[in-house]
Structure 1
Amino acid sequence: MPALDMAEEGRQRKGNFSALAGHTNGLTKAAAASSSLGAKPGTSSSSSSKKLVIKNFKERPKLPDNYTQDTWLKLQEAVNAIESSTSIKYNLEELYQAVENLCSSKVSPTLYKQLRQVCEDHIKAQIHQFREDSLDSFLFLKKINRCWQDHCRQMIMIRSIFLFLDRTYVLQNSMLPSIWDMGLELFRSHVISDRMVDSKTIAGILLLIERERSGEAVDRSLLRSLLSMLSDLQVYKDSFEQKFLEETNHLYAAEGQRLMQEREVPEYLHHVNKRLEEEGDRVITYLDHSTQKPLIVCIEKQLLGEHLTAILQKGFDNLLDENRVLDIMLLYQLFSRVKGGQQLLLQHWAEYIKNFGTAIVINPEKDKDMVQELLDFKDKVDHIIEVCFQKNEKCINLMKESFETFINKRPNKPAELIAKHVDSKLRAGNKEATDEELERILDKIMIIFRFIHGKDVFEAFYKKDLAKRLLLGKSASVDAEKSMLSKLKHECGAAFTSKLEGMFKDMELSKDIMVHFKQYVQNQSDPGCLELTVNILTMGYWPTYTPMDVHLTPEMVKLQEIFKSFYLGKHSGRKLQWQSTLGHAVLKAEFKEGKKEIQVSLFQTLVLLMFNEGDEFSFEEIKNATGIETNELRRTLQSLACGKARVLIKHPKSKEVEDGDKFLFHSDFKHKLFRIKINQIQMKETIEEQVSTTERVFQDRQYQIDAAIVRIMKMRKTLNHNLLVSELFNQLKFPVKPGDLKKRIESLIDRDYMERDKDNPNQYHYVA
């Protein structure tokens, strides 16, 4: 039976005898009270006319002369029988009463000394059995444990007999240990404090623990009993714990160094976690709970703290690359246990995000898929933060800073590509997602959008793409368009979206205008056979389009004049400028297969209408007849003769259109659809158009910088260079270099908006 269990049994027995003693004393006191009061039968003790009569007690009967000596011999015999594990001749109640009688006779000090001496002699006699050199470690531990169990059992029996002594004399003398504590003190001083017993006991316990750590099965109940013994004897910390922690430290220091060389990071992390669980189980099973904290700290230091940087450098990036969520979660949990571990982990995490994101952003070859890769990477990062890092706020902030850092390493391009990605999702041809999925995609895009600095670049490209979607009727959903507009307004403010909102207003007004125009045309004497739809675009809201004069057919020119008369008749003082690059038409064509409808651009329309007058034309003839600019005409003819739907035949056959090429009407053209849409190549964005859009953004930025400088100087009147630049950085909403600001300041000085101080060149004055 373990020592703690034996001690508990002792306390239970102690309680039983205590109750018995209390019962006996209670009867004695009751009888004494009855005799001392001397109340007569039938009278009330509470009557005020009666008096209490106190009678003298009779003298205590004297004990026989040899009673003390004989009684002690009887008690000594009983103690010896308990210690030798033989039967006791006397009744336990008789022995208990004998102790009470001796204590009542005021021989308690002598009785306590005699009992201590008997116990001490017996314990001293036990030490010889542990001096046998032939005992191996395990047998030695079993023997010392058996001795301890016997001692506990004996002291419980002895204490139950001498309980009255323990509860009276010992309790009243604070300097004396209780009988149970006396037994512990004697066992500690004569057995455990013996140098040989102590060293062999501790060495044996440590050996068993070492074997268990190496994977062997050991007697855990024996370990639990022995360590409880050391704890009860109050030598656990001095004799065992210090040596145990030293050995643990050496073991795990060597193990950490070895396994970091031999194992991959995930395997090593699982081993560390396993070790922590094993040591936690040891604390629960047989170690004292006070050992838990220093033991776990030791493991964390040797297996983790000494290898934090090595673990991160060796395998953290691989875990993230392979998206090994469970391993990353374990890594975070383990690093969070070590001081400074979590901070170091998050620093590596931020560096990984920057490096991975930079590789996506700065590589021009990845431009086509850049935004989708960024969205996928952001999803992956968010999942790791939520599942592995437990939504750590510091981790979230580092992620945001890292995204903002790498996405702006390549100025303007990410903003442009995000705008194009939105365009691809909002276009009518996009069948990838439902309305709900599209809404979620737009929300994710907005998260990436928040990180870019050049939001004006995004606005320029978004506006150009939105114009195409609206003018060509290619928008997937008006609701989705307005939802995106609402998101941009919420993110950047009303000023950012005012022009975009104006574009939608123009489209709605144009619909109303066309209703009235159709009524107006019907009232004309010769309405004609063509239908004309015009979108009235407010110049300030829409992108800037380069006007291109082309040779329209007489029917088209006539309709334009009719609309011009109609519109200017209602809105005097306005000017109409026709944008032929934005026009498109639906033509009816007859082939050998049958009739088809062809949806084409205005330039494609002008080319195809020529073949009503003849079957074959050269490149130069088409150019002269249509007036289309050379490069635009090449792209137009390419779309008609070299694309999927080849309604024209080119001679000689090639993918490029060259001067001197001839084009024939393809009467044998076949297609499974009745209405055929031929790609409007002239609407595809060229490199020149991209550069042009970017240059317009830079020009707008210069105007904004100039306006900001003048606004600040007008308010401050006088300001030095550094303060002016600092104020500009605060006010401008796009990234700008100090060198660019200096150029704009010089430009304003040249234009007499401001001047330098004559005595201090770094000081500026506003010129009213």
Structure 2
Amino acid sequence: MPLSNANQRNLPEQQSQENDLTSSKKRRLSDNCSSQNNKRSRENSELSPMTDSQKRANFSALTNPSNGINRHASPLANSKPGSTKKLIIKNFKEKPRLPDNFQALTWDKLAESVQAIHTSRSINSSLEELYQAVENMCSHKMSAALYDQLKQICENHVKSNITQFLEYPFIKTKFLKKMDNIWQSHCRQMIMIRSIFLFLDRTYVLQTSSVMSIWDMGLDLFRSNIVGHHIVQNRTVEGLLQLISRERSGEAVDRQLMKSLLRMLSDLQIYHDSFEKKFLEATDRLYAAEGQRLMQERDVPEYLAYVDKRLGEENERLLHYLDPSTKKNLVSCVEKQLLDQHLNTILQKGLNQLLSENRIQDLSLMYQLFSRVKDGLKELSIAFAAYIKTTGRLIVVNTDNDPEKDRDMVQKLLDFKEKLDNVIDICFAKNEKFINGLKESFEHFINQRQNKPAELIAKYVDSKLRSGNKEATEEELERLLDKIMVLFRFIHGKDVFEAFYKKDLAKRLLVGKSASVDAEKSMLSKLKQECGAAFTSKLEGMFKDMELSKDFMLTFKQQMQHIDTPGGIDLTVNILTMGYWPTYMPMEVHLPAEMVKYQEIFKKFYLGKHSGKKLQWQSTLGHCVLKACFPGGKKELQVSLFQTLCLLLFNEGDVFTFKEIKLATAIEDGELRRTLQSLACGKARVISKEPKSKDVEDDDKFLFNDGFKHKLCRIKINQIQMKETQEENTSTTERVFQDRQYQVDAAIVRIMKTRKALSHNLLISELYKQLKFPVKPTDLKKRIESLIDRDYMERDKEDSNQYHYVA
């Protein structure tokens, strides 16, 4: 930057100072004259006495001095106090003349001092004298000649230095040091010269736009005569590039030397043209080759660490010696060759591995580096979504129908989701693009397998809300339910979830296996908030029935206090509203006479309170507590109603065949086999089977187990009630599909009733908008045909793709 601009002063200010100097000199002359006249006046006063008029000041008595300054009598002599005093100053009568050889003598003195500066000798004259000499020449309109003479002497000196660069042997480091020394000397010399010729810089240069400041002139001379020389310039730039290359290879270099030379190029305004272009080309070639080689040799984490290291090194160079204007192009060059050119390769080669191994630090670095490149985050989010879909599909799809895989599916999905959430929070800076990609990907792969994920999520909730679940506290369970609700949002077949959830909830409530009423109601609240009141109305009705049943049983127990209890047994009944609860197939079994009598008493009492209602006994979900006496001690057995009927037979005998038990209890064949298997082949074998095997055959015999022992007093054997049978699963699924058909039919009729006439394609489109579950076009076509057969709608006689509503 030109140093002359820092201390420049406006011309009017200089002229003002010159006028002040002239006035000061004139005042000094006037004061001298006054002092001489006063002296004479004092001498006269000693010779004769003073009159009154003489005692008063008489300025008119002063004679005019020979220097041309006239002083008039002051009006104060004969005027009243307070009047103004007038002072008149006149110029010299003759203008001072300079010696004829003034310019030559002065320049010789200045030229000698400039040469002394160039040759690093001491200056004979003081800087004040030299400055005054420059001021005098400028004051007498010699500025232009002075400037030209100064420029010529400086140019001659600069030109004399070029030969040593051309003759100097080209050893890069030494050459660069030589260049730096000459440059530093030139700068020091120009600063010294400018301080001497500062008056010229601040007057003539400012007034003349066609000339450069003394500092800029020095830069221009150095640029055009030394650095501008093609040999010198090429050697300098080549030497700098070689030093940078050596530093990139790991060698230690003189950064201060490089900083000084690069600043020189920048000051001379040839940095961009002579150095930066070649530097960026060399950088581009280096990193292009390096990127190709290392992408093949190293794995992705190592490669990313190397790229980050390289970027850090280049930023250090910018900090230490490169010009800041190079930063954008340099960083862009490194990012392009090491990242942009290899985005797809990096993602294909390493992203899946990093995500699978949960490499948080490496993923953070990948996100940070990809964010520097245009479309880097876009490509990363696409690859991230693809990984989620691929991995998620492997979790959800079960081509081998492996029950173990289905059992673990929901837990794996929760773990997978938690891991990805953690990656997005820590590594991807909670970027919305990745959050949305995660949601879309989960929704995509979780519905690749229709209906089954919804069923398994419902069963997973059931396993966590059962009383046997000791894994979590209430707070942990609440957090788990929140995570499950996230998965629930992704599934399309929410009606399937509702059906299985309702079935399992019914078992938990009726068998008394619910872990916490608060947790149950919390889950219900979450479902209501997510899907609306219509979705949970039946589930809420189930809870209401249980509460009403408790209140009713209190009234019934009070009534039974006045009646003898049949057989000394205690009966608890849950009254269920048929529309709220799952559909259960009624099964007529042979109950003990005491239980039948107790049922009749309750029925009479209930109908007495609620006339017009009908009771239907459901034995499948009944459970009992039996007191049993074994040789090893008394035990209480918590069993299902069907298990109770089988065990009570052993009060009448020690051995029964399968057929005898079936005849005595009237339990359905499949259910009886499951029941006997749980009693004779489970962990608590209160009866034994002959022959011993896992399956129950028609000819098997069952015996009372005299040697039964158990460490607990109350033993639960009714877990069989909570297990889902294949028939039960199939029945639930079929009911869902049946309900879907009713919903499709209702939607078709609703649309046609509103529109009256509609084409096939528009009708299908409207149905997809209204239906909340996945359905195939072929299934919709079947329902349309069914409604046409039932005369709800008809085809147009001329256009078979057009439908009309039949009122």
Q: TM-score, normalised by structure 1?
A: 0.95
- Provide, for residues 284-342 of structure 1, a one-character-per-residue CA deviation record: whole Å limited to 9, x for no partner: 11111110001111111111111111111111111111111111111111111111211
TM-superposed deviation, 1:680: 3.3
1:100 aligned to 2:139? no
- Provide, for residues 346-402 of structure 1, a one-character-per-residue CA deviation record: whole Å limited to 9, x for no partner: 111111110010010002432111001111111111111111111111221111111
TM-superposed deviation, 1:523: 2.2
Work out the CA distance in 2 between the residues paired with 1:234 and 1:611: 110
Q: 1:762 to 1:57 in 2, by over 3 A?
A: farther
User: Residue 223 of structure 1 aligns to which amino acid in structure 2?
Assistant: M
Equivalent of residue 620 in structure 1, options 637, 659, 667: 659
1:67 aligned to 2:99? no
Work out the CA distance in 1 between the residues paired with 2:83 and 2:718: 126
1:358 aligned to 2:393? yes
C-alpha contact (below 8 Å) 1:636/1:682 kept by paired residues: no
2:301 maps to which residue?
A: 266
Q: 1:77 to 1:619 in 2, by over 3 A?
A: same
1:481 maps to which residue?
A: 520
Q: 1:47 to 1:637 in 2, by over 3 A?
A: farther
- Provide, for residues 527-579 of structure 1, a one-character-per-residue CA deviation record: whole Å limited to 9, x for no partner: 54111000001111000111111110000100011111011111111111111
Equivalent of residue 239 in structure 2, options 190, 204, 217: 204
Superposed, 1:428-443 pairs within 5 Å as 428-443=467-482
1:560 maps to which residue?
A: 599
1:648 maps to which residue?
A: 687
Work out the CA distance in 1 between the residues paired with 2:311 and 2:231: 33
2:252 maps to which residue?
A: 217
TM-superposed deviation, 1:59: 4.4
1:540 maps to which residue?
A: 579
1:144 maps to which residue?
A: 179
Superposed, 1:20-419 pairs within 5 Å as 28=21, 31=24, 53-57=88-92, 59-132=94-167, 134-363=169-398, 364-365=401-402, 366-419=405-458
User: Residue 595 of structure 1 aligns to which amino acid in structure 2?
Assistant: K
TM-superposed deviation, 1:668: 2.0
2:775 maps to which residue?
A: 736
Work out the CA distance in 1 between the residues paired with 2:287 and 2:445: 41
TM-superposed deviation, 1:766: 1.1
5+ long unaligned stretches in structure 1:
none
Work out the CA distance in 1 between the residues paired with 2:71 and 2:727: 128
- Provide, for residues 93-134 of structure 1, a one-character-per-residue CA deviation record: whole Å limited to 9, x for no partner: 111111111111211111111111110111010011111353
Q: 1:37 to 1:545 in 2, by over 3 A?
A: farther
Work out the CA distance in 1 between the residues paired with 2:188 and 2:682: 102
Superposed, 1:447-486 pairs within 5 Å as 447-486=486-525
Q: 1:236 to 1:721 in 2, by over 3 A?
A: same
Work out the CA distance in 1 between the residues paired with 2:240 and 2:577: 91
Equivalent of residue 558 in structure 2, options 519, 531, 537: 519
C-alpha contact (below 8 Å) 1:632/1:682 kept by paired residues: no
Q: 1:53 to 1:479 in 2, by over 3 A?
A: same
Secondary structure in 1 aligned to 2:372?
coil
Q: TM-score, normalised by structure 2?
A: 0.91
TM-superposed deviation, 1:26: 8.7
TM-superposed deviation, 1:679: 3.6
Secondary structure in 1 aligned to 2:239?
helix
Identity level (%): 69
1:422 maps to which residue?
A: 461
Superposed, 1:668-679 pairs within 5 Å as 668-679=707-718
TM-superposed deviation, 1:48: 8.0
Q: 1:88 to 1:41 in 2, by over 3 A?
A: farther
Q: Name whichever of 227-236 and 276-285 sits farther off.
A: 276-285
C-alpha contact (below 8 Å) 2:650/2:704 kept by paired residues: yes
User: Residue 213 of structure 2 aligns to which amino acid in structure 1?
Assistant: S
Q: 1:40 to 1:385 in 2, by over 3 A?
A: farther
Secondary structure in 1 aligned to 2:236?
helix
Work out the CA distance in 2 between the residues paired with 1:622 and 1:30: 141
TM-superposed deviation, 1:617: 1.2
Equivalent of residue 753 in structure 1, options 792, 796, 799: 792
1:638 maps to which residue?
A: 677
Q: 1:103 to 1:609 in 2, by over 3 A?
A: same
1:508 maps to which residue?
A: 547
Q: 1:84 to 1:521 in 2, by over 3 A?
A: same
Secondary structure in 2 aligned to 1:582?
coil
- Provide, for residues 496-540 of structure 1, a one-character-per-residue CA deviation record: whole Å limited to 9, x for no partner: 000000000000000011011112222225554111000001111
Work out the CA distance in 1 between the residues paired with 2:372 and 2:781: 52
Q: 1:171 to 1:58 in 2, by over 3 A?
A: farther
5+ long unaligned stretches in structure 2:
31-68
Q: 1:47 to 1:488 in 2, by over 3 A?
A: farther
1:684 aligned to 2:736? no
Work out the CA distance in 1 between the residues paired with 2:211 and 2:267: 18
Length, aligned pairs only: 758
Q: 1:113 to 1:521 in 2, by over 3 A?
A: same
1:714 aligned to 2:749? no
2:58 maps to which residue?
A: none
Secondary structure in 2 aligned to 1:56?
coil
Work out the CA distance in 1 between the residues paired with 2:450 and 2:23: 102
TM-superposed deviation, 1:585: 0.2
TM-superposed deviation, 1:442: 0.2
Q: How large is the Cα RMSD of the aligned pairs? A: 2.3
Secondary structure in 2 aligned to 1:131?
helix
Work out the CA distance in 1 between the residues paired with 2:544 and 2:573: 15
Work out the CA distance in 2 between the residues paired with 1:563 and 1:38: 143
TM-superposed deviation, 1:42: 11
Equivalent of residue 599 in structure 1, options 630, 638, 641: 638
Q: 1:657 to 1:40 in 2, by over 3 A?
A: farther
C-alpha contact (below 8 Å) 1:604/1:636 kept by paired residues: yes
C-alpha contact (below 8 Å) 1:618/1:663 kept by paired residues: yes
- Provide, for residues 650-691 of structure 1, a one-character-per-residue CA deviation record: whole Å limited to 9, x for no partner: 111122211111111112211111111114324411122111
TM-superposed deviation, 1:135: 3.5
User: Residue 458 of structure 1 aligns to which amino acid in structure 2?
Assistant: F
User: Residue 334 of structure 2 aligns to which amino acid in structure 1?
Assistant: I
Q: 1:434 to 1:52 in 2, by over 3 A?
A: same
Secondary structure in 1 aligned to 2:204?
helix
Work out the CA distance in 2 between the residues paired with 1:526 and 1:701: 48
Secondary structure in 1 aligned to 2:167?
coil
TM-superposed deviation, 1:24: 7.7
Q: Name whichever of 28-37 and 338-347 sits farther off.
A: 28-37
Runs of 4+ in 1 over 3 A off after TM superposition: 20-27, 32-44, 46-54, 57-60, 525-528
Larger Rg: 2
